[in-house]
Amino acid sequence: MTPAPNSHVTETAQAQGTPAKGKVWQMTATEWLICALACVGFAFDTYTLLVLTLIVRPALTEMLPASVGPTVFNQWVGILFYVPAIAGGIFGLLGGYLIDLLGRRRILMWSILLYGVCTFGTAYVTSPGQFLLLRCGTFIGVSVEFVAATAWLAELFTHREQREAIIGYTQAFASTGGLLISAAYYLAVTYSQRLPLIHGTHEAWRYTAMSGLMPAIPLIVLRPFLPESPIWKRKKAEGTLQRPSFAELFRPAFRKTALITCLMMACSYGGSFGMLQHFARIIPGTPGVRVLPVAAQEQRVGALQGVQEMGGLAGRFLMAFLAVHILSRRRLLRLFQIPALVLIPLVMFLPAMRDQDMSTAGIFALGLLTVAQFSFWGNYLPLVYPTYLRGTGEAFAANIGGRMLGTSAALLVTSIVQFMPGGSASRQLGYAAGIVGLLSYIVGFVASFWLPEPSLEATPD
């Protein structure tokens, strides 16, 4: 793939009312509106995904019979994490194709509505099966939205410094979604008795799920003011937009890029789903928390989830800053991979071995190093595919690699946890999550030596 020459970058920038390289960037009201919507979309991507991390334990405790043992309970946890990811991967890949076929903005809007409505509906489920069905809808919406948003932004802001900064900093708001869901869960636990009954109870997890509808509100208001990608729209009008094709990804020009990015996104998601998202179930069994009343335990879980998300937020901002200043994508990614290879044994294995509380600083650091990688892929993937294949290529890496393969790490953890040492469920889970997280980082680091270095100056046409 040969990117467009620098002269085209200048022409595109001038056509969009943005200055060429070396000048001060002045954004229009519409461009600020685009960035605001992207921030909302990225924030609630994370919000609706992480709600499961916080509510899966109390939800299954309520819906499963009291006689169900830990094996069946863990099986349902794994199913709720992994089966929706499979649905998200399959339909997200189709969504990537539709993004290239029908346009970025249209698919972006419908994907946000889908995950907002499905998360809200989760508040009213009465069985694990209903819970699973709506989680599939949520995951499909999130899987499509990420691809649509990054492709949209990369084509609206084509100059390197501006593009890297805008995609990076808007993605940073994904971690504010983690903070918001932590705060929402904390408030729901604290004030649930004052809220209206749902199915005759005041279960905090149900009120937390209801809040997932919030991104639909600004979406409905702002939709008429949002433009379509000018590159995609121009090519579509001229009749020069090639039809997207999954087979195109496996031709010589794109095969290496498709396979390596798929594997490495699987590793990035494996670090999150195989390690970070199990913290909420490890923490209640640690010495300083298990002696507390149930409500206080849940508040502690919410607080430490907030610490993790603060780390993720810091990591995304750090990635956004470094993406502008470090040209080598391999070097940029390794700045986050290598420290994690050292920290995972210290943060995960030592507390499990000694039956100690997890380090708050360690939770923050692992959140920073792991979550930052999601922003890396949002910046990287739009640069390695041309316009007609951008949504399809991104969807293959993000949904087949990340959503389907990467999230299987959650199922792997729940499958091996019974074979771990430690004597208690919390310590066994610490070992299992640590092993899967470390393995994900090792494979990702090795694969980074084959990661293609894109041309960074222009968004490929």
DSSP state letters, 290-346 = HTS-HHHHHHHHHHHHHHHHHHHHHHHHHHHHHHHH---HHHHHHHHHHHHHHHHII
pLDDT at 293: 86
Q: Which residues contact 410 (CB under 8 A, 6 or more apart)?
A: 77, 78, 81, 82, 85, 273, 274, 277, 278
Token pair 């970070």: residue: 276
Average pLDDT on 71-87 reads 84
Single-letter residue type at 86: I
Q: Does residue 17 carry a pLDDT above 60?
A: no
Q: Which CATH architecture has domain 31-224+246-450?
A: Up-down Bundle (1.20)
pLDDT at 19: 44
Neighbours of 236 (CB within 10 A): 17
Q: Does residue 422 carry a pLDDT above 70?
A: yes
Q: How confident is the model at residue 318 (pLDDT cuts 50, 70, 90)?
A: very high
Pick the most confident of 10-14, 147-151, 172-176, 265-269: 265-269
Neighbours of 422 (CB within 10 A): 17
- Average pLDDT over the chain reads 84
pLDDT at 459: 62
- CA triplet 54, 183, 207: central angle to 5 degrees? 60
Average pLDDT on 35-41 reads 85
Q: Which residues contact 444 (CB under 8 A, 6 or more apart)?
A: 264, 267, 268, 270, 271, 337
Distance CA 460, CA 441 (A): 30
Distance CA 198, CA 316 (A): 37
Distance CA 47, CA 309 (A): 11
379-403 residue pLDDT tens: 899 888 888 888 888 889 988 898 8
Q: How confident is the model at residue 12 (pLDDT cuts 50, 70, 90)?
A: very low
- Sequence-ordered strand ranges (E) for 59-135: none
Q: What is the DSSP string of 344-389?
A: HIIIIIHHHHHT-PPPHHHHHHHHHHHHHHHHHHHHHGGGSS-HHH
- CA triplet 354, 355, 360: central angle to 5 degrees? 100
pLDDT at 35: 87
Q: What share of the chain is helix, strand, coil (3-state, %, to 5)?
A: 80, 0, 20
For residue 390, which of 149, 214, 228 has the smallest C-alpha distance?
149
Domain locations in the chain as residue ranges: 31-224+246-450
Helix (H, G, I), strand (E, B) or coil at 447: helix
